[in-house]
Chain A
């Protein structure tokens, strides 16, 4: 079974790390393929032995930066098909837009079921064409069985006790490159669909540390109004 984990260009997010860890822990005859579509640097993977990554595939295209989630999702869906994926795993908001739509777009194009923010995954021993996962939804913490093929997204993992546990690091596999033409996707689709009515206002965050409520309020009051 081929499991495709979508990874970002450059440093990967905690959610993507969680995706790689969960995919690596699936067990059985699984091949884990990291897939990255980018116009920028290659993914910086900090792989542990548990991640069991077999291949790293990069689709390089200079126009990606201008794409929107619908185009990126369709491209990842085409690439997942090309890689004969039975399952696609993504960080829940690991795309550059940070909205969490890419997984849903992939699911729509492949017509596979989507479950967001899974916390675990393992192959169902009794029914090897399904995945068992834990997920929170609607006030319930549920254990579910999701038929294959499917799309799963993972939430960022917070390290318990404030320290991140890192296993022995291993080198990533050699990068393979996929040309966009091999995916059966037209270049026209890569035209940007930017939203002209979106404005971005920049600011810098500042963390406040206080030792008591009074201390905190005093420091908060020193912040100038917007």
Chain B
């Protein structure tokens, strides 16, 4: 496996938490298998100092190389008709056997057509783990829940015929020591395309974006006060709280793909609650068996919201894993 490609999703010029997590996962795999980690950044115009800062962050997170294609076209939200042309150019050159995409809505747009372009198998909500076979050969397991939600489907990426495009689950990146070698920066030209253009008529910040990359995700189906929500948002890093509203519907939970999902409701909802049923197939509630190398737990927490202070205390305790008996 010569090249392991990681597509990087940016917010305000910096990689998302999920992107850093994907990059670190790639580094871990590449170090054990002797591969090169190539990060791919497709972005609007960037000033040189910002590019250098980006290369440093990517290098610190595990990238050997940082390929950057910057063009005003990429200032708008990502679609395959735009970004696909760059990914085609890069994959034609690198011929990667394994591509990691970070959890997020951009990967939902780019992942399926990228997999088809490579003739690859697409694994959404993936986790990865390396093990040794009985004869000492390494095995790279790319695992996910089965579509029927009754098992774990694990593919040995080193033995499979097809390349693999894996959209990784959200996770919390490890802290990195600053000052590590920065990634080798390479600027790519803007390739031509034959696909008809998609026009972006308007766009605004996605209210659901806060949930992406969260390890612990609390979904509220209640009318808790916004001030209380803000208070909750001060919980530990890796925790996000969203409300099931038309602006941030729970149907997007499968894109967020947290390690732990907590659904909070003051009502007695059917078990499991419908908002989770909508995400079923992608997020576990709570199971005794977990995918290899992951902690994958979701819980439906019915709470008495008449005492919100107690609720906030409880949520923070769950997020940190510290419970006072």
Contacts and interface: CB of A to CB of B under 8 A. Distances in A.
A166 interface: no
Contact of B290 (A161, A216, A226): A226
A207 B318 contact: no
A103 B112 contact: yes
Interface in A111-156: 111, 113-117, 119, 132, 135-147, 155-156
A116 B112 contact: yes
Given A93-B147, A113-B196, A158-B244, A203 B300 contact: no
Interface string B149-167: 1111111100111100000
The 3 closest A-B pairs by CB, nearest first: A98-B147, A104-B112, A213-B314
Given A141-B205, A207-B300, A155 B251 contact: yes
Interface string B289-304: 1100000010111111
Contact of B278 (A93, A143, A157, A214): A157
B72 interface: no
A140 B204 CA distance: 5
Interface string B229-268: 0000000000000001011011110110000000001010
A141 B207 contact: yes
Interface in A145-203: 145-147, 155-164, 195-203
B286 A208 contact: yes
A65 interface: no
Interface residues of A, number: 73
Contacts of A163: 274
Given A158-B251, A208-B300, A137 B108 contact: yes
Nearest to B80: A114
Sorting the interface of chain B by its residue count into under 10, 10 to 19, 20 to 34 or 35 or more gives 35 or more
Given A115-B79, A156-B251, A220 B297 contact: yes
Given A139-B209, A164-B274, A198-B154, 5 more contacts: A116-B109, A136-B252, A144-B198, A161-B221, A226-B288
A206 B286 contact: yes
Interface string B71-91: 000001111110000000000
B93 to A, nearest CB: 20
Contact of A101 (B122, B221, B267, B324): B122
Interface string B120-136: 01111000000000000
B151 A202 contact: yes
A214 B206 CA distance: 34
A162 B113 contact: no
Contacts of B160: 195-198
A119 B80 CA distance: 17
B149 to A, nearest CB: 7
A59 interface: no
A101 B114 CA distance: 10
Contact of B302 (A147, A159, A209): A209
Contacts of A214: 314, 317, 323-325
B28 interface: no
Interface string B45-56: 000000000000
